[in-house]
A and B are shown apart, each in its own frame.
Chain A
Amino acid sequence: MRSTLSSIAGQCGDVALFGFRILRDSFRPPWEGAEIAKQIFEIGWRSLPLIAAAGFAVGAVMSMHTRASLERFGAEAMIPAGLAIALFKETGPLVTGLLFSGRVGAGIGAELGAMRVSEQIDALESLAVDSFKYLVVTRVMACIAVLPILTTVMNFTGILGGYIAETVISGMSFALYWERAWSFVDFVDYVPPTLKTCIFGFIIGTIASYLGYNTTGGTAGVGQASTRSVVFASILVILSNVVLVKAIFFLFPGAEG
């Protein structure tokens, strides 16, 4: 029991050190700009269809649910505003973060794991390339850059999905829907929640890279790294969100209203 605990503590310490190393190295040249761009393409551009489709569906479903609850109070006019606020403040960032943990966390975990067991990471080192900077820092940077963009995409497609669900039922015009959707959204409902996904990106990138980069045990180890990446990244996204929401309330008192 004691050894399990100390091993967990040790792991946490390792991950934290790994994270610090990422932060430190991200400020040191050489900056692997081309590699970051490539990763943005891989994990950002290629996530677009998933995020857009999910956003559309989430928006539509939320619209239907808000309708069900608001109808009781005769407040159907609030549906677009309720949807937009919920989407911008929490659902958009969190769902994007979780989907991203799934797709990209697994991807990074598996890719780095495979590179580790097939000695590609050693090969990089042997070619006098800092594999940590080249593989890990670039991926984490890309995650940080990409998540707010994907969240924005999720937000807007969500609004669009909500519109489709709304207009099918009530025939509301797009102009009115759009007007109502934004009527209660303030900067604090939009900017901090979107930018907090940078921290989700850092967490997802770091966890997945850590598990992939330190993979042992051959092909089985790669699968394990991939699975664990998703599990730990998702849990940490959800847990960190609690802290982040509280932090946003603290930093931007207007966000609570």
Chain B
Amino acid sequence: MAARTKILVGVFVLGGFVLFAAGLFIIGDRRLLFSDSIELRAQFANVGGLKVGSKVLVSGMDAGEVLAIHVPARPGAKFEVRFRVLEKFQPILRQDSVASIQVEGLVGSKILQVDAGSETGAPVTSGALIQSREPVEIADIVRDTAETIGKAAAVVDDVEERVGKAIDTLVGVGEEARTLVVQVRGDSREILGTTKRVVGNVNEIVDGVRQGRGTVGKLLTDDEVYGKLRKTVDDVAAVAGNARSASADVKEIVADLKSRDIGGKVEAAAGNVQQATAHAKDVIATLKPSAGEERGLIDDLRDTIMNTREATSDFADDMEALKRNWFFRGFFKRRGFYDLDEVSQEDYLSGKITRGREPERQWLHRSELFDEGPEGRELLSEKGKKKLAIAIAPYLKLSPNTLLFVEGYASGGSREEQFLRSRERARMIRRYLVQRFDLKGNYVGAIPMDNVKSDWEGVSIVWFRDKKK
């Protein structure tokens, strides 16, 4: 055989072998067989199709493979999955690292995903058992998502319907309201306030959802739902415009009243809505051309205003419901939509909620607020109501989103008595303020200040103005 042939045979056989071996090494390298690694364990009730040899990812990076899956000895016990992870990942793995079984891609094979541990977690050594999270089936996610979208769509439909009603009422009221603005000055400001808040909330939701915020936010790029929300917002904005122009009219009329020298009385009572309203009523009465004809109209308008308030309040309730829906919950939390109804004294004093905002405070003694009721209980007096109206007046000028707390104080008696009394006082005043001035529970808190060293008897109303930018 010629020498050349011999060389070619050698090249052929060796080359073929090298090529084959190269394949082995490529696969082995991908399976990370040729690097140092440590062995870890995780337990699952359901291994969700994971197999020996399945890939292991650490924070999304190829890191090893599943070595063995031990079937438990009895029904209640969990499967133990032993897997290999490259040694270089050891520094970021902790005993509180969580292993979960996931699908590679939408239809790929199952993989074991391990998250990096917490900064403070104990470091892992070979053989360590780490945390695990049971696999979530795609079918479950899809089902939940469909349900959520359905719920969200229903909520939006409902909101739209109610807002639509409110708008109709408001628009209908628009013109007539002008004739009644002085009387309804306080009411209209409340409507404006509530509406602004509603618009703010809805805008926030819409923006948040549009930007895909929230865990499942992305899934809600459903055009239909978005369109509905958008329309709602536009409608509400239109109403707000109307209301704003109404309030401009109020200013005009107030100026007018001033010029007629009735303004002095109005000005003096500016802090007290009820007084202002009462004065305005008188003014209206003087302005009324004839009694007989107009009574029906005014009653109608009153009813209308009542309806409007009801509607806007309903809408606010809807917003509350929305906030409690898990789908939007994360979003509201991030924005700080706490319900201050249930804030504890501890949280309040820690400043977690007020976040360093400057308090503005009004002290009110029990003697100014309460009458002695039956069985020694305190009841809010008429005088107290007036005092509260004056005290709250500066707050009402602020953004409706300003946090307000009613601190209850009591001295004397046992600790328990102090706690119960201070809490009773705070709650009573809060309840009254919320009802009377249509404040919203999630912005108004009641805190018993029983542990605070103070011999004050009564309450202190504190609000936290947003920091000026």
Residues of chain A touching chain B, judged by Cβ–Cβ distance below 8 Å, are 34, 37-38, 40-41, 44-45, 48, 73, 75, 77-78, 145, 148-150, 152-153, 155-156, 182-187, 190-191, 194, 254, 257
Contacts and interface: CB of A to CB of B under 8 A. Distances in A.
Give 5 closest A-B pairs by Cβ, nearest first.
A149-B16, A152-B20, A45-B12, A41-B9, A152-B19
Nearest to A178: B26
A69 to B, nearest CB: 13
A148 B16 contact: yes
Contact of A37 (B1, B23, B51, B52): B1
B8 interface: yes
Given A37-B6, A37-B9, A44-B12, 7 more contacts: A37-B1, A37-B5, A44-B13, A45-B9, A149-B16, A156-B19, A185-B27
A182 to B, nearest CB: 5
B30 interface: yes
B107 A182 contact: no
B456 interface: no
A73 B107 contact: yes
Interface of B: 1, 5-6, 8-9, 12-13, 15-17, 19-20, 23-24, 26-28, 30-31, 51-53, 105-107, 109
Contacts of A194: 20
A186 B53 contact: yes
A183 B12 contact: no
Contacts of B20: 148-149, 152, 194
A27 B31 CA distance: 38
Contacts of A45: 8-9, 12
A31 to B, nearest CB: 15
B8 A186 contact: no
Given A75-B107, A190-B27, A191-B24, A41 B5 contact: yes
A200 B8 CA distance: 24
12 contacts: A37-B9, A38-B1, A38-B9, A41-B12, A48-B12, A75-B105, A149-B15, A182-B26, A185-B30, A186-B27, A187-B24, A254-B51
Given A37-B6, A257-B51, A257-B109, A186 B31 contact: yes
A187 B65 CA distance: 13
Contacts of A78: 105
A184 B26 CA distance: 12
A153 B13 contact: no
Nearest to A150: B16
A40 B19 contact: no
Contacts of B12: 40-41, 44-45, 48, 149
Contacts of B53: 186, 254
A34 B5 CA distance: 11
Contact of A152 (B16, B27, B28, B51): B16
B23 A155 contact: yes
A152 B24 CA distance: 11
Contacts of A34: 1
Nearest to B6: A37
A40 B9 contact: yes
A167 B155 CA distance: 49
Nearest to B23: A190
A37 B9 CA distance: 7
Nearest to A189: B27
Nearest to A38: B1
B34 to A, nearest CB: 13
Contacts of B105: 75, 77-78
Q: Which of B6, B8, B9, B109 has the most CB of A within 10 A?
A: B9
A187 B25 CA distance: 10
Nearest to A184: B109
Given A37-B6, A41-B9, A44-B12, A187 B27 contact: yes
Nearest to A149: B16
A202 to B, nearest CB: 18
Kindly name the residue among B13, B19, B53 whose own CB sees the greatest number of chain A CB atoms within 10 A. B13
A4 to B, nearest CB: 43
